[in-house]
Amino acid sequence: MSSLFAQEVPLSWYLLLSAVLFSLGVVGFLIKRNLITVFMSIELMLNGVNLSFVTFAHQWHAVKGQIFVFFVMMVAAAEAAVGLAIIIAVFRARATLAVDRIDRMKL
Amino acid sequence: MNAHLYLWLIPLLPFAGFLINGLLGCGLPKWLVTTVALLASLASFCVVLNIIPALHPGITVCKGCAIPQGSPILPYIETCPLPWINAGLLHIDFSFVLDQLSLVMLLVVTGVGFLIHVYSVGYMGDDKGYARYFSYLNLFLFFMTVLVLAGNALVMFIGWEGVGLASYLLIGFYFQKKSAADAGKKAFIVNRIGDFGFLIGMFLLVANFGTLTFSEIGAKLNATPAWQGGVLTIIALCLMLGAAGKSAQLPLYIWLPDAMEGPTPVSALIHAATMVTAGVYMVARTHVLFNHSPVALGVVATVGAATAIFAATIALVQNDIKRVLAYSTISQLGYMFLGCGVAAYSAAIFHLMTHAFFKALLFLAAGSVIHAIGGEQDLRKMGGLRKKLPVTFAVTTVGVLAIAGIFPFAGFFSKDAILYAAFLQGTNGKILWFVGLLTALLTAFYMFRLWYLTFMGESRSENVHAHECPWSMRGPLLILAALSVCGGWIGMERFGDFLAPSVGARAISWHMQIPYSSFAISMEFLLSVVAVLVALEGWMIADKFYRRKPERPAQYAAALPAGYKLLANKYFVDEFYNAVVVKPLLAISKYFLELVVDIGILGGAAWLLGGIAQLGGAILQRWQSGNLRSYAAWLAAGAAAVLLFLLVPWATVLAILPAIHLGMAGH
């Protein structure tokens, strides 16, 4: 058992997981109608990317990737604050969160 | 080395005057405008005068005598230290050159120019456009001195175009009057034709000589005396076309009579004394080219002689005092070209100088008459003015005697020099001489006709308030009258010797060709006597027609209705040009250029471009649906495409693709 734990998880597993997370995010972004779900899909994509950052940082023993992840998390937090504020404002104005019906900015 | 002559000050001072009066003139008091304009031209004249003592030991032609230290050697060249045009092998500097030829011209231009500035103070005294008038006049002096000082053809061209502009502005000075505005346009457009020739000539000079500097061209040609005719003839003829435009020669003379719409001092300065002589000056400046092309010289002489007699016949029957003088100017310019055409360039420049004196005088005197009788220009309504305008009468008499070529007035010497030079040029020269002599007869006749109609007899209109002009006008008249008397006394030989370094030894061939012998001198004397007798004959005829038998002209006109009509309508040249050039040009402009080219091709292209953009916009507009998920889909598709492009090893794929295909076909 101990040998199983001592063994390292191979790089490709992490990257595969990261790709799956990102793709889930993309698909969710494209097919979901609720604005909040769309928003959560974005977070999913960001975290997919974060995971590959960390993976590569570990692989190459470079701390830059880890630092980048902190940056992404920070921006994601700010984005969440602003994005949720916008969503609330949209809901107050239009009483709906259906993405398809928020299309008044077209020509 | 050479002393500094500050040539650049000569054009720059009038330019400063132009800027001050042109930009601020409306706000300045009148006395200040006058001061600025007069000072600008006077200072320029003084700079020119100041050159003479600096040169004195150098300019007197004393062969072998040493030139003292510090005095500039002619030609003296002043070049702007900054490079002007550097294009491949072609280098053109902004350079001024002072030699004997440009010195004479500078004296005439700035001297007569200053006198006419003074005269204008009185003449234009109560005009609303006073400051505008003087700024234009200063602008003219600026460009004219640039033209004269130019060391290469391109700088000359700047001055050439500039004086054309000043001329246009001043002809159309009374721009509210349609005829004046039209006359300005006519002058400008006709000059364009000549400028076209000048430009082509310059291009050919660059192509064949690689330079536009007069001295380099001259040196190159002097080094190859065998190079005659050919392309040189073409260049010379192109330049002659330019000269014919500027100097109002056949067939481009038509603008000058109309240019009389401008104020009279302008007619005196620009359209008699200085600008119109620029063509003669240009031919003299490029005389080396003409000397290498007998054909071009023949053309110049023929055009000159033809213009001289052609314009003189028109002048016989004109009734507008300024038009008589205008045709007379064309005729005298013809004389100058005749002189150039027989390679007597210094004689031509001599006539240019004396003509500047007496023609400026005649125009200013005419202006004084017009001013005195309230703007009337018709000779038929004048008469009997000699008692009311004694000063004007006296100076006009001097001018008329000078232009008619009566000894010892200025015109006698210069006209005689040209006729003598023509006479010595073989058989053709005899014909040219005879035409010149005939022109002299006509000149004497029409000038005395003008004199009789204006001053003699009884007044033919009720206007009795004629008054002599103020002193600002009388002063220039008197000075010019003095110059018209003594301007010729310097003598052709001395003048020719002085100019010889500039215009070449061939120019003085008339007394080099036949060595000083009793024959040559008696011949010259005889020809002079003939010329004076012919001029006196012209006077006699005028005396008979307009004093003793005033009914005669009408009788002749009635006896020869066709001839009179032809002359009175100036040979219908304007009508001819109108029908042959202007009308077809307007028709082409309207039906081809406007309808086909402008509206059809250019307009159509613009519409087409606009249409394509609109159509494209209408199609692409649908893409911008406003739907968030469609944008996101496009974004994802784009990212996928980029990834596909970057990650797939296309070279390998393309290489193995046919193999797969073939492998499949094999099964």
Mean pLDDT over the full length of chain B? 86
Nearest to B271 by CA among B257, B285, B284, B287: B257
How far B612 CA lies from chain A's nearest CA (Å)? 20
Residue B77 three-state SS: strand
Q: What is the pLDDT of residue B523?
A: 78
Burial B242-281 (b: 16+ CB within 10 A, else e): bbbbbbbbbbbbbbbbbbbbbbbbbbbbbbbbbbbbbbbb
pLDDT confidence of B126, banded at 50, 70, 90?
Answer: confident
| Span of B185-189, B241-245, B470-474, B496-500 with lowest mean pLDDT | B496-500
Residue B27 DSSP SS3:
helix
Q: Which long-range contacts (CB under 8 A, 24 or more apart) does B539-543 make?
A: B539/B404, B539/B406, B539/B444, B539/B445, B539/B448, B541/B445, B542/B444, B542/B445, B542/B446, B542/B447, B542/B448, B542/B449, B542/B451, B542/B452, B543/B448, B543/B452
Does the CB of B626 have a partner CB in chain A at under 8 Å? yes
Contacts of B626 in chain A (CB under 8 A): 103-107
Model confidence pLDDT, tens digit, residues B349-376: 999 999 999 999 999 999 998 888 877 8
- What CA–CA distance (Å, rounded) separates B615 from B609? 10
Beta strand segments in B54-157, E: 76-79, 85-87, 90-92, 95-98
ipTM, two decimals: 0.79
Enumerate the residues of chain A whose CB falls inside 8 A of the CB of residue B623: none
Q: What is the CA radius of gyration of chain A?
A: 18
Q: B563: how many CB neighbours lie within 10 A of its CB?
A: 13
Distances from the Cα of B111 to the Cα of A22, B138, B143, B360, B364, angstroms = 93, 13, 15, 11, 15
- pLDDT at residue B155, rounded to an integer: 93
Which of B619, B622, B624, B628 is best to mutate for the A interface (most A CBs within 10 A)? B628
- B101's tokens: 């030829």
What's the rounded Cα separation, in Å, for the pair B451 and B467? Answer: 18
Any A CB within 8 A of B625 CB: yes
**Mean pLDDT on B310-323:** 90
Please report the residues numbered 588 through 607 in chain B whose beta carbons come closer than 8 angstroms to any beta carbon of chain A: none
The set of residues, in sequence order, having a beta carbon less than 8 Å from that of B493 and lying 6+ positions away, is B508, B511
Count of Cβ atoms closer than 10 Å to residue B360 Cβ? 30
Asked if residues B22 and B140 have their Cβ atoms less than 8 Å apart, the reply is: no
Q: Which residues of B touch A22 (CB under 8 A)?
A: none
Is B626 close to A103, i.e. CB distance below 8 A? yes
Which residue type, as a one-letter code, is found at position B211?
Answer: T
Q: How far are the Cα atoms of A19, B620, B638, B660 from residue B642, in angstroms, in the given order?
A: 17, 22, 6, 25
Cβ proximity of B108 and B352 under 8 Å:
yes
What lies within 8 Å, CB to CB, of B355 at 6+ separation is B272, B273, B277, B332, B336, B403, B411, B414
Q: How confident is the model at residue B505 (pLDDT cuts 50, 70, 90)?
A: low
* Digit-coded pLDDT (tens) for A29-72: 988 889 899 999 999 999 999 999 999 999 899 899 999 999 99
Asked if residue B2 lies in contact with residue B76, where contact means CB atoms within 8 angstroms, the answer is: yes
Q: What is the DSSP letter of B380?
A: G
- Within the 25-84 window of chain A, which residues sit less than 8 Å (CB to CB) from chain B? 26, 29-31, 38
- Structure confidence at residue B229 as a pLDDT band (50, 70, 90): confident
Flag whether pLDDT at A96 surpasses 70: yes
User: What are the tokens at B280?
Assistant: 């003669």
- Contact predicate B255/B190, CB 8 Å: yes
On the question of pLDDT at A107 being above 50, the answer is no
A107/B624 Cβ within 8 A = yes
Residue partners of B580: CB distance under 8 A and separation at least 6: none
| Confidence check: pLDDT of B515 > 50 | no
Residues of A in contact with B628 (CB under 8 A): 38, 99, 102-103
The single residue listed with the structure tokens 């011949």 is B523
Q: In this structure, what are the phi and psi dihedrals at residue B148, rounded to the nearest 5 degrees?
A: -70, -40
Q: What is the pLDDT of residue A94?
A: 85
The pair of structure tokens assigned to B663 is: 């492998």
Q: Say which DSSP state B489 is in.
A: T
Q: Of all residues in chain B, what percent are helix, strand and coil, respectively (each to 5)?
A: 75, 5, 20
Contact A30 B629 (CB under 8 A): yes
Among B621, B627, B632, whose Cβ lies nearest the Cβ of A29?
A: B632
Q: What is the mean pLDDT of residues B611-632?
A: 86
Measured between CB atoms, which of B625, B632, B636 is closest to A106? B625
Quote the pLDDT of residue B435.
92
Of A29, A31, A100, nearest to B627 by CB-CB distance is: A100
B621 neighbourhood in chain A, CB within 8 Å? 107
pLDDT given for residue B81 in this prediction: 79
Residue B53 has pLDDT above 80, yes or no: no
The answer, for B621 touching chain A at a CB cutoff of 8 Å, is yes
Q: In sequence order, what are the residues at sequence separation of 6 or more whose Cβ sits closer than 8 angstroms to the Cβ of residue B1? A: none
Are A106 and B626 a contacting pair at CB < 8 A? yes
The pLDDT, as a whole number, for residue B663 is 61
Q: Does A102 touch chain B (CB under 8 A)?
A: yes
Instruction: Check residue B65 and give its pLDDT.
Output: 43
pLDDT at B513: 47
Which residue from B minimizes the CA distance to A102? B627
Cα B320 to chain centroid distance, Å, stands at: 23
Nearest CA in chain A to B632: A30
Q: Which residue has the higher pLDDT, B572 or B459?
A: B572
- pLDDT, tens digit (0-9, with 9 covering 90-100), for B250-298: 889 999 999 998 899 999 998 888 999 999 999 999 988 998 888 999 9
Please indicate whether, in this complex, the C-beta atoms of A30 and B627 are within 8 angstroms of each other. Answer: no
Residue B617: list chain A partners with CB under 8 A. Answer: none
- Residue B62 CB neighbours (<10 A): 10
Q: How confident is the model at residue B59 (pLDDT cuts 50, 70, 90)?
A: very low
Any A CB within 8 A of B636 CB: yes
Query: Look-up: residue for tokens 């001013």?
Result: B371
Residue B517: predicted pLDDT: 52
Integer CA distances (angstroms), B362 to B378, B396, B513, B529, in order:
16, 6, 36, 25
With beta carbons under 8 A apart, name residues in chain A contacting B647.
none
List of chain B residues whose C-beta atoms are within 8 Å of the C-beta of residue A26 = 636
Q: What is the pTM of this model?
A: 0.76
pLDDT at position B73 over 80? no
Give A37's contacts in chain B (Cβ within 8 Å).
Answer: none
The per-residue DSSP string of B215-252 comes to: HHHHHHHHH-TT--STHHHHHHHHHHHHHHHHTT-TTS
User: Are residues B170 and B57 in contact, defined by beta-carbon separation less than 8 angstroms?
Assistant: no
Q: Do A106 and B624 touch (CB under 8 A)?
A: yes
**Which residues does chain A have within 8 Å of residue B632's beta carbon, measured at their own beta carbons?**
29-30
Mean pLDDT for all residues in chain A: 88
Percent of chain B with pLDDT over 70: 92
pLDDT band at residue B325 using 50, 70 and 90 as cut-offs: very high
Which residues on neighbouring strands pair with residue B150, listed in sequence order? B96
Q: What is the pLDDT of residue B6?
A: 82
- The count of other CB atoms within 10 Å of the CB of residue B408 is 12
**Residue B78 forms beta bridges with which residues?**
B96
Separation of alpha carbons B558 and B571, rounded Å = 18
The rounded distance, in Å, linking the Cα atoms of B98 and B104 is: 10
CB B538 within 8 A of CB B411: no
Q: Above 50 in pLDDT, residue B514?
A: no
Chain B CB contacts of A29 under 8 Å are: 632, 636
pLDDT of residue B41: 93
Q: Which of A30, A38, A103 sits opposite B625 (nearest CB)?
A: A103
Instruction: List beta partners, residue B77.
Output: B97
| pLDDT tens by residue, A67-88 | 999 999 999 999 999 999 999 9
Shortest CB distance from B633 goes to which of A30, A104, A106?
A: A30
pLDDT number for residue B278: 93
**What pLDDT is stored for residue B78 in this prediction?**
81
Give the closest residue to B160 by CA, choosing from B211, B206, B121, B212: B212
The secondary structure of residue B79, as a DSSP letter, is: E
The Cα of A103 is separated from the nearest Cα of chain B by a number of Å equal to 5
Q: Is A100 in contact with B621 (Cβ distance < 8 A)?
A: no
